[in-house]
Amino acid sequence: MEPGDAARPGPGRVVRALRPRLLLLPLLPLLLGRGLRAGAAASSSGAAAEDSSAMEELATEKEAEESHRQDSVSLLTFILLLTLTILTIWLFKHRRVPFLHETGLAMIYGLIVGVILRYGTPATSGRDKSLSCTQEDRAFSTLLVNVSGKFFEYTLKGEISPGKINSVEQNDMLRKVTFDPEVFFNILLPPIIFHAGYSLKKRHFFRNLGSILAYAFLGTAVSCFIIGNLMYGVVKLMKIVGQLSDKFYYTDCLFFGAIISATDPVTVLAIFNELHADVDLYALLFGESVLNDAVAIVLSSSIVAYQPAGLNTHAFDAAAFFKSVGIFLGIFSGSFTMGAVTGVVTALVTKFTKLHCFPLLETALFFLMSWSTFLLAEACGFTGVVAVLFCGITQAHYTYNNLSVESRSRTKQLFEVLHFLAENFIFSYMGLALFTFQKHVFSPIFIIGAFVAIFLGRAAHIYPLSFFLNLGRRHKIGWNFQHMMMFSGLRGAMAFALAIRDTASYARQMMFTTTLLIVFFTVWIIGGGTTPMLSWLNIRVGVEEPSEEDQNDRRWQYFRVGVDPDQDPPPNNDSFQVLQGDGPDSAGGNRTKQESAWIFRLWYSFDHNYLKPILTHSGPPLTTTLPAWCGLLARCLTSPQVYDNQEPLREEDSDFILTEGDLTLTYGDSTVTANGSSGSHTASTSLEGRRTKSSSEEVLERDLGMGDQKVSSRGTRLVFPMGDNA
């Protein structure tokens, strides 16, 4: 070691010299990229030989401390960035400037700090940091190094492209603020995704489930395929122009299509919330973005797994293709199952124990079970993030009902904070990465091509899918909604996390840079343009939260509330006939409607008659729904509360989950429910013979109507004013 280095004491530094902790702060090295740890790296200069063993030890300790301190400083940088973001966003909210979302702001601050770090800090630490040790034939994960009789253990950090060895180590600080890419995927994304699942407004979500699934699955696949092909054209063009300096295969293009197909309209949805825009549009956009994240992850994994039989052939291979499809289905269903199973287990545990007397225990259990989903899925080779999403949905649908009132707010708030921190962290990191990331490959042609491709890719699924969906939907998705969905194709945290996960090859680096720019552009431009777009497209906004006295005036509310009038015809009694399968109109799509109606009715009735009674304290007693020979089992599974007070318990339904600011949205939708209820009630009361069938419809209607703002207003449901109307 160099004498000058060892002689650099810091106040109080010496006291931390507990011996063999080389990676002092496990949180920090974990979080902070452990690129070549130049600060702590040893110099291989000749002076080392004569140092005594004790001095060496001390020097290593000092280096480790220095590294630890740098880690702390870098993490502190991010915390200050987030603090600044919070304060500024408060200022914007306080001054009623709702058009800049915190994520956009976080990116801007990140960008500024990135520029400062890049150009403001000393360029190089000027020390000889690395040591080459020519090895046998391959890399080992662990290396035992014998240094004059002492054994030291080394862990493999990753491969470094030979050309970069000298260039990457120019700036300590830049490397310090570069995180391990897997942090995003395994630490920051799960709370974001879980929160999305846990706060899905299930009422609107389920009402639009068919369309959401179509957009999320078919749409993402179409988008991925179209973007992939367009980009392959762009790559061909680049080859011709001579702008491509390394390999770029067709599978790479498809991979790019997959990662960039994950939409994340976080800013648009925030503005929708702020402006109280149409709830169905909100549900469509939110549901699509949540599910297509999952689809994009699994799709990109499947594309990576596509490996034709022969080595290095990137031609089409049917067997490999079907294997990829199989993997897609396997991973997706496996992750789904994991998530659902953990959710169900949590529901059962919270139902059959009286844990709700101890909200702290309950919350801790809920948190642990939700986390275990992630680990379980990862341990089984599935995708933890996807499992966490479906776990969140299951927890919200069942477990939430069993929690105590305090635990409900605790769990919601806990995941809300985690989600907020993680999301803003990712976005500020994105801003930072634009300048501090060391392997950018800026290719103007590729970038322009990508912008065109994502535009076309989104257009190519929104409009055709909407057309087909409209054949089967009673509430058509109008042109203005389609345009808005088209417009809201922002890219965000998921695309970034997928892109940064692998930046080893030239193609992946180019993708990463392009993804970053796309995220920037879409979040800033589209985020800022949402409000003008809403008014330009004539989408109704400004459904305000009704005050107490307003709530009594149902009729007033009816006129203020709801979707765009030219979109949504005044409600009539047959608006539930979509699900009953006997609507008089849209004869062409009747079959589709009937089928979806049948499927969803089946699910609802199953859910209501069996799943909810088994997993929660609500629903009809199992003794009435299960066949007689299951009597004993039914009695065991049915909680006594169900017999006592079926109605009050029903009101604790999980559809009542509202995050802040959602109140109005849910409430604003009540006319449609009222409409549906009224239609269904007519059916069940007028047709005495259809009792069995209408009971399941009643269930459905009740489930759909569960989102009313006040539990206490349940007694005077919106059915009644509508009855006056009709």
Please report, as residue ranges, which positions from 497 to 516 form the binding site for a copy of itself (by CB under 8 A): 501-502, 504-505
Identify which of residues 97 and 368 has a Cβ nearer to a copy of itself in the complex.
368
CB of 445 to a copy of itself, least distance (A): 25
DSSP string computed for 254-310: HHHHHHHT-B--HHHHHHHHHHT--HHHHHHHHHHHHHHHHHHHHHHHHHHH---SS
Tokens at residue 259, please?
């990662």
Q: How far apart are CA 408 and CA 654, in angstroms?
A: 10
CB of 673 to a copy of itself, least distance (A): 28
The greatest distance separating any two alpha carbons of the chain, rounded to the nearest whole angstrom, comes to 100
Q: Interaction with a copy of itself in 646-705: which residues (CB under 8 A)?
A: 660
Q: How far apart are CA 121 and CA 677, in angstroms?
A: 65
Identify which of residues 71 and 653 has a Cβ nearer to a copy of itself in the complex.
71
Q: Interaction with a copy of itself in 430-459: which residues (CB under 8 A)?
A: none
List Cβ neighbours of 662 (8 Å cut-off, separation of 6 or more): 199, 201, 273
With contacts defined by CB under 8 A, name the span among 62-70, 551-559, 604-612, 629-637 that binds a copy of itself. 62-70
DSSP string computed for 359-405: HHHHHHHHHHHHHHHHHHHHHTTS-HHHHHHHHHHHIIIIIHHHS-H
List Cβ neighbours of 375 (8 Å cut-off, separation of 6 or more): 384
Q: Does 367 bind a copy of itself (CB under 8 A)?
A: yes
Identify which of residues 27 and 525 has a Cβ nearer to a copy of itself in the complex.
27
**Which has the closest alpha carbon to 270: 563, 490, 537?**
490
CB of 416 to a copy of itself, least distance (A): 6
* Amino acid at site 257: G
Q: Does 353 bind a copy of itself (CB under 8 A)?
A: yes
Q: Does 6 bind a copy of itself (CB under 8 A)?
A: no
Identify which of residues 90 and 316 has a Cβ nearer to a copy of itself in the complex.
90
Identify which of residues 134 and 547 has a Cβ nearer to a copy of itself in the complex.
134
Q: Interaction with a copy of itself in 81-100: which residues (CB under 8 A)?
A: 82-83, 86-87, 89-91, 93-94
Q: Does 162 bind a copy of itself (CB under 8 A)?
A: yes
CB of 293 to a copy of itself, least distance (A): 17
Q: Interaction with a copy of itself in 225-254: which residues (CB under 8 A)?
A: none
In angstroms, the Cα distances linking 466 to 18, 462, 473, 569, 576 are 64, 6, 10, 19, 21
With contacts defined by CB under 8 A, name the span among 132-140, 232-240, 483-491, 646-654 that binds a copy of itself. 132-140
User: How many other β-carbons are positioned within 10 Å of the β-carbon of residue 558?
Assistant: 19
**Which one of residues 64, 105, 193, 485 is an interface residue with a copy of itself (CB under 8 A)?**
64
Q: Does 80 bind a copy of itself (CB under 8 A)?
A: yes
Tokens at residue 105, please?
């702001």
With contacts defined by CB under 8 A, name the span among 392-400, 415-423, 564-572, 662-670 that binds a copy of itself. 415-423
Identify which of residues 49 and 319 has a Cβ nearer to a copy of itself in the complex.
49
SS3 category, 12: coil
Taking CA 716 as the corner, what is the angle to CA 715 and CA 722, rounded to the nearest 5 degrees? 140
CB of 26 to a copy of itself, least distance (A): 4
Identify which of residues 419 and 650 has a Cβ nearer to a copy of itself in the complex.
419
With contacts defined by CB under 8 A, name the span among 180-188, 385-393, 442-450, 474-482 that binds a copy of itself. 180-188
Q: How far apart are CA 269 and CA 284, in angstroms?
A: 11
Task: State the SS3 of 301-355.
Answer: HHHHHCCCCCCCCCCCCHHHHHHHHHHHHHHHHHHHHHHHHHHHHHHHHHHHCCH
User: How many other β-carbons are positioned within 10 Å of the β-carbon of residue 414?
Assistant: 16
Identify which of residues 384 and 472 has a Cβ nearer to a copy of itself in the complex.
384
CB of 380 to a copy of itself, least distance (A): 8
SS3 category, 14: helix
Q: Interaction with a copy of itself in 256-315: which residues (CB under 8 A)?
A: 301-302, 304-305, 311-312
Q: Does 143 bind a copy of itself (CB under 8 A)?
A: yes
